Amino acid sequence: MRTEYVEAVLALVELVPPGAAVAYGDVAELLGSGGARQVGSVMSHHGSGVAWWRVLRANGEAPQGLEAEALQFYVREGTPLLGRYQDFLRTGEGHWRVDLMAARWAPEDGDFDLIDAIAERLERRLHKMSAPDDEMTV
């Protein structure tokens, strides 16, 4: 993934407040570019510096392979959870997930501007690279 996209994704993720969360697909949608898998890829390779646990699967499951670590953060941040997470904390058994209906980030007044700024900057930087120039007609 190009660095412009990586930066845009990370910048977006930093806007998500503690206790809230968004799905991979949500991030792509807010950026107006790429898809859920691209966002997942970015998080996997470059997400360690941000609150990666606030970006998860559309059904509320934590990022693949990091369930246990993520749960610690959710509990600490008071993120709404569903299922037997307490069992999971004690025994490592039991299914649970984030209650995305309740936890999904609802951007506030100032956030929309920031989101737009990020999306626009990405758009600009992306377009600059292609420069079509009628390539197909040659």
* Interacting residue ranges for DNA, rule: CB under 7 A: 1-2, 5, 23-25, 33-41, 43-44, 47-48, 52, 55, 57-59, 63-66, 95
| Least Cβ distance, residue 62 to DNA (angstroms) | 8
CB of 104 to DNA, least distance (A): 11
- How many other β-carbons are positioned within 10 Å of the β-carbon of residue 112? 11
* Of 61 and 111, CB closest to DNA: 61
Asked whether the beta carbons of 59 and 96 are under 8 A apart, the reply is: no
Q: Which is nearer to DNA, 33 or 111 (CB)?
A: 33
Q: Extract the runs of DSSP E, i.e. beta strands, from the chain.
A: 22-23, 55-56, 81-83, 96-98
Rg (CA), the chain: 17
CB of 110 to DNA, least distance (A): 25
What is the smallest separation between the CB atom of 138 and DNA, expressed in angstroms?
A: 14
CA separation for the pair 46, 132 (Å, rounded): 30
Q: For residues 122 and 116, give the distance between their C-alpha atoms in angstroms, rounded to a whole number.
A: 10
Q: Considering beta carbons, is residue 46 or 89 the nearer one to DNA?
A: 46
Shorter beta-carbon distance to DNA: residue 75 or 113: 75
